């Protein structure tokens, strides 16, 4: 399993009802169903991924977050709403986050950090849009249209009164090095946030 998914699965409790936004081929939900007795749905738009989910017994709904939102889900119907590596690809990440915490008690979000030193360095040196393992596209064909830094995300949470329960910052190999812990916005490549509106 992808290392970020490995971290996320530890945050899902036994028997929880889970919604996975952009669930891909359903690897994580499949794991959570089998190992954690979790239930729930994945939302996906990629036809191959949808077929794979259906073949492995993961409940998947073809639904586009940008055009359809989460209107069809009731308030608080999920324990956890997951969104791995998709926040930067939706048109209104702020609204998606609001919606995640409307339909779920807790959200788990991962996204690439645009302030990682290699991206800053690349832009400074070459004067061109940076590319990396986490962001392997050209500026004109990238699905990642809403890039942000860890600081940006945390500022947005603060503005919306969302509490960050925990944060794990990892590098490209998903290792949680002491350096990345020290200067996350500079040295962390991907962050995994656990957010909620509930009081601690």
Partner 1 sequence: MPDSVPSDSVGIVSPQTIAFNTPLELACGQTLEEYELVVETYGTLNEDASNAVLICHALSGHHHAAGYHCADDRKPGWWDSCIGPGKPIDTNRFFVVSLNNLGGCHGSTGPSSINPATGKPYGPDFPVITVTDWVHSQARLADRLGIQQWAAVVGGSLGGMQAMQWSLSYPDRLRHAVIIASTPKLSAQNIAFNEVARQAITSDTEFHDGRYYDFDTVPRRGLMLARMVGHITYLSDASMGEKFGRELREEAFKFGYDAEFQVESYLRYQGERFSETFDANTYLLMTRALDYFDPAWHTEGDLARALTPATCEYLVLSFSTDWRFSPARSEEMVNAMISARKKVSYAEVDAPWGHDAFLIPTPRYTDIFTAYMGRVARETGA
Instruction: State which residue, 12 or 162, has the beta carbon closest to partner 1.
Output: 12
Instruction: State which residue, 47 or 127, has the beta carbon closest to partner 1.
Output: 47
Cβ–Cβ under 8 Å, residues 139 and 119: no
In the complex, least distance from residue 59 CB atom to partner 1, rounded to whole angstroms:
5
Tokens 């119907």 belong to 77
* Residue 70 DSSP symbol: T
Instruction: State which residue, 49 or 168, has the beta carbon closest to partner 1.
Output: 49
Q: What is the torsion angle, in degrees rounded to the nearest 10, for the CA atoms of residue 174, residue 180, residue 185 and residue 188? A: -20
In the complex, least distance from residue 52 CB atom to partner 1, rounded to whole angstroms:
7
Angle ∠(16,163,174) on CA atoms, nearest 5: 70
Cβ–Cβ under 8 Å, residues 189 and 132: yes
In the complex, least distance from residue 152 CB atom to partner 1, rounded to whole angstroms:
32
In the complex, least distance from residue 49 CB atom to partner 1, rounded to whole angstroms:
11
In the complex, least distance from residue 72 CB atom to partner 1, rounded to whole angstroms:
4
Q: Give which of 166, 157, 164 is closest to 11, Cα–Cα.
A: 166
Q: Which two tokens stand for residue 59?
A: 């409940």
Cβ–Cβ under 8 Å, residues 197 and 163: yes
Instruction: State which residue, 17 or 95, has the beta carbon closest to partner 1.
Output: 17
Binding residues for partner 1, rule: CB under 8 A, are 17, 39, 41, 47, 50-63, 72-74, 77
Instruction: State which residue, 30 or 189, has the beta carbon closest to partner 1.
Output: 30
- Nearest-angstrom CA–CA distance, 92 and 97: 9
In the complex, least distance from residue 67 CB atom to partner 1, rounded to whole angstroms:
12
Instruction: State which residue, 68 or 177, has the beta carbon closest to partner 1.
Output: 68
- Nearest-angstrom CA–CA distance, 87 and 94: 9
Is the torsion defined by CA of 20, 26, 32, 37 positive or negative? Answer: positive
């Amino acid at each position: 399993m992808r290392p970020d998914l490995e971290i996320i699965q530890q945050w899902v409790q036994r028997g929880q009802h889970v919604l996975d936004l952009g669930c891909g081929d359903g690897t994580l939900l499949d794991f959570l169903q089998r190992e954690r007795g979790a239930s729930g749905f994945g939302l996906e738009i990629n036809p191959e991924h949808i077929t794979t989910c259906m073949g492995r017994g993961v409940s998947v709904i073809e639904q586009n977050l940008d055009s359809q939102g989460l209107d069809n889900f009731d308030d608080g119907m999920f324990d956890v709403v997951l969104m791995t590596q998709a926040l930067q690809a939706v048109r209104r990440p702020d609204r998606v986050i609001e919606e995640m915490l409307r339909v779920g008690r807790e959200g788990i979000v991962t996204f690439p950090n645009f302030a990682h030193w290699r991206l800053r360095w690349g832009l400074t040196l070459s004067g061109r849009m940076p590319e990396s393992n986490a962001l392997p596209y050209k500026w004109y064909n990238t699905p990642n249209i809403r890039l942000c830094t860890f600081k940006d995300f945390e500022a947005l949470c603060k503005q919306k009164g969302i509490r960050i329960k925990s944060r794990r910052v990892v590098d490209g190999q998903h290792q949680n090095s002491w350096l990345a812990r020290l200067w996350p916005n500079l040295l962390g490549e991907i962050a995994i946030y656990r957010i909620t509106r509930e009081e601690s």
